[in-house]
Amino acid sequence: MMMKPNDYASVMARKPEIMIKSVGIDYSKFESGSIAFDYEKMMRETGYSLDEMQKIQYSVNVGNTPILELKNITALARSCAPKGKGARIFIKDEACNPSGSFKARRAATAVYHAKKLGYKGVISATSGNYGAAVASQAAIAGLKCIIVQECYDSKGVGQPEIVEKARKCEALGAEVVQLSVGPELFYKFLLLLEETGYFNASLYTPFGIGGVETLGYEISMQFREKYGKDPDVVVCTNAGGGNLTGTARGLTKAGAHSQIVAASVSLAGLHMASDIAFNKKSFTTGHTGFGVPYSSWPDRSDVPRSAARPLRYMDRYVTIAQGSVFYMTEALASLEGLEKGPAGNTALAAAFALAQELDQDKTIIVQETEYTGAGKHIQPQLSFARDNGIEIIFGDPKDEIPGKNIIFPSHPSLLKATDIDLDHMRKSLIKTAMATYHVENPTNEDIMFLAEETKTNIEYVKAQILARS
């Protein structure tokens, strides 16, 4: 048998063929030949029903996690808020899942599907909690597991949080392939998929996103049972968009009408693919380096059409400073006796600020928490930041400059959330869609699709198209 060429250009050219074999989805079935594709059909035909997903997850001890009220954090927020303001703050404790994060929900359905289709193993490209979740579920299912991780800069220095997650993946039985920052990650990922014939347990398949729908559905059901109503606001840490997308879809299936707020750590000015910037950041996920580009153009992931499409669902998008998230991590431990990792605490820091805008009879929930561990703790992160020339001070987080300093709020009243201009992101998505598919005159189907993508209407999309001509 003739060997296929393994140079970068040849492997990338084989991407569509590799993807079909490794995911088992022919994405062309949902395409229109233009900008539009049938998103809901893709979710229906390749995913599982909500009931099926719950049964799959519950059978492997995933899901049905508790909702906890943070009474002391709420009291602190009220002490900083105008009179009568300060919503009750809750968290959904997803750290109770086997791998310690909500991503166990994604992994449970992806690994179940891989085993059902007869794959001998699963591969995922991730430096985050999803790797541990896939490894955990693969162990339960008796499948092999490889995690491909972007871990080091060109000097071979690894970010503590990413190294921590590698240890967890290995402890759960996975083989971890660690790479340096840059295009090598996706190239190596494709090569491994082709060589092993394993299933691509991507974060962005309908199985993965559908798995998070149970989280949103549970929030609504549990809230109604305990408090007689749905939460007024649901805050989701936003990176690649699957967390928010799945949660929002689950809430919709429950008939809830909660406001959906995305929250990301502000890493403005740090380029995520830059070798120099790689170890200048103190957050490896849940930050604007992923959250903004993936919201304004979802189809930049490792599948042809991402099932994570957050701009369809978010009502508001806010950023929070790095120092504010570290501060809230300490506050959660000191005031509530709960030690949690940084991703969920990003949304918690945002919720702390947003609760002060709401009346005291309102409720706001952070829809996920994550485990913490050696490399995720505040001290190793701050020590690593100092080693990379980052100044750590107390002051006003609004003065924080990512890559230069980390500013802890000198008083909790200084912890603020900053709104991102959603209109700008919507315009960017429309512009990128037209450029990517080389469409000058979108069809009516395209226009309807873009209206859904941007959570607007046909008139809005037409106005943006007209402005470009």
In the chain, which residues have pLDDT < 50? none
If one counts every other C-beta atom within 10 angstroms of the C-beta of residue 435, the result is 11
Give residue for tokens 């991730």: 126
d(CA 327, CA 322): 9
Q: Is 389 exposed, middle or buried (0-12, 13-18, 19+ CB in 10 A)?
A: exposed
pLDDT at 2: 60
Find out whether 250 and 215 touch, Cβ atoms under 8 Å: yes
The dihedral built from the CA positions of residue 308, 312, 315 and 317, taken in this order, carries a sign that is positive
> Please, which contacts does 411-414 make with residues 24 or more away whose CB atoms are closer than 8 Å?
412/76, 412/77, 412/79, 412/80, 412/327, 412/331, 412/352, 413/80
Topology given in CATH for the domain delimited by 59-98+210-419? Rossmann fold (3.40.50)
Give residue for tokens 């690649």: 240
Q: Residue type at 465?
A: I
d(CA 266, CA 274): 17
pLDDT at 408: 98
pLDDT at 270: 86
Residue 447 CA neighbour count, 13 Å, CB half:
15
pLDDT at 184: 82
Find out whether 226 and 281 touch, Cβ atoms under 8 Å: no
**Listed residue (247, 3, 5, 230) closest to 105, CA to CA:** 247
